[in-house]
Amino acid sequence: MRLSVSIVLIASTAWLSTCIPPPAVTTERRCVFLASPENTEWTQREGNISGLSQHCARTNCCMGYFRLESGEPTPVLLGCSIIRTDCPNLSCRASIHYPNTIGCVCGSDFCNANITWNQQAKQTEYKHPQYTSSTTDLLSANVVIIPFAGALILLFSLIMALKWKNLHQHCRSATPPNTHDISEVANTDLGKHLEMQKVVACGHFASVWRGTFRGSLVALKVFPTALQKEFTKERDVHKLPLMMHSGIVRFLGDGKMGKEFVLVLELATHGSLNAFLRRTVCDWACTLKLAQTLSQGLAYLHTDLKMNGVYKPAVAHCDLSSSNVLVRADGSCALCDFGCSTVLHRQALQGYSGIVEGRIQMGTLQYMSPEILEGYVNLSSGRCLLQGDVYSFGLLLWELLMRCSDLCKGSPVPEHMLPYEAELGRSPSLEDLLTFVLEKRLRPTVPHLWARISQGLLLRELLEDCWDHDADARLTAECAANRLASLNL
């Protein structure tokens, strides 16, 4: 298990809805910064980092997460707020209470340097030295800002990162965590049975923790009180009838913990596909299993199914990216994060409110299809959203195929890159994507080496049929899954 915080960033474009983060703020908030080295790549997207200071680019709020050790708070993650929420408090007062962890969101420069924690009418304050805008002052305070326990956390993070790098040069199998004996939890105070261990991801709407529930390892997706609507929408997608499939992350229950709303989910020990591909080179067998299970999950999600009098509508994911796919210990994939999904009903479901019509939520910018980038989407047709998913799947398939050692015979395996990163950088703008994808009709480069491999031409054809410029000419998810299933080891 990794002992670090990994930040999952959802890119955006201005005309789309609430899955899209707000535009950059006009004045840069300055926050104390602390994150493990491997997470700096993600957290720095919230703003420039200079020593122990971060200048926020997207928010006016600072955040702080502190682990309680012997009743004293030790900083785990500090910086510009990742979750988009209001921050009416100027000082860091603990408003996020989990077992053994507290946190705050605050709205003044370097406010996350100090946290005030109220327990049994007694305030305990974790104090950093006073911060100024001077980088010199910030650096000189370094020995004080990271106490011994915090230094140990960072040291363990480095050790475990090296361990993962050595262990995962090729795909390996392991026993998945024990989740079969977890009964569903609904409208329950989760704190009675729950132990939260560490943050494993942070998104715009929620943080994801590894923890245990009734003795079994689980993932806990925690939504702030103000984001109950986002929690309810994702929960309702998970609770659709017949929503159980090996290619979809297993939903175990939901409830409240203090004032926060929580989804209890299966824990995928390898984390997101994005993180997995960054540290792992796969052989053909591993790559094929990732691709096949991913395609099967998407095909099932898109399926309009009626079985034994129970109806499952088709669901468009609408934010398919390598950050929203999980990798289990056995090397299979599972779709997750349905906060932007749209349920495509053919008949009313009693007791289910459905998704609000007329405002389709979309997600990560560089995975968006040409028609969605352009804004030309027929909201009355669910097919256009399903085919948008297939385009995203094509890019995702390219992303994982590029890390296959057997497709790079005689050449080094490229470092993991996101779609269009080589051509446009890691965070391309909407304007750059419109020019490259829509006007020039270009796609990620398929290596010429693939032509030497027996299955290379089939893979190239599959990619092109998934990311075709004409949405109506693209494969369905089911057809893409069938093609992948026909490939052999």
Q: Which residues does the annotation mark as catalytic?
A: 319
What does the alpha-carbon distance between residue 124 and residue 394 come to, in Å, rounded to a whole number?
52
Helices (H), 308-381: 370-374
CB 233 within 8 A of CB 359: no
188 CB-contact burial (10 Å; exposed 0-12 / middle 13-18 / buried 19+): middle
**Inter-residue contact 89 to 174 (CB < 8 Å):** no
Is the CB of residue 65 less than 8 Å from the CB of residue 81?
no
Q: How many CB atoms lie within 10 A of CB 68?
A: 18
How far apart are the C-alpha atoms of 367 and 369, rounded to whole Å? 7
Strands 216-223 and 207-213: antiparallel
Backbone angles phi, psi at 395, to 5 degrees: -65, -40
Q: How many CA atoms lie within 13 A of 371 on its CB side?
A: 21
Q: Rounded CA gap, 406 and 411, in Å?
A: 10
Q: Of 403, 288, 283, 271, which Cα lies nearest the Cα of 329? A: 271
Regarding beta strands 185-189 and 251-257, do their DSSP bridges make them parallel or antiparallel, or are they unpaired? Answer: parallel
Beginning with the edge strand found earlier in the chain, give each strand of the sheet holding 62-69 in spatial order: 72-80, 62-69, 101-106, 96-98
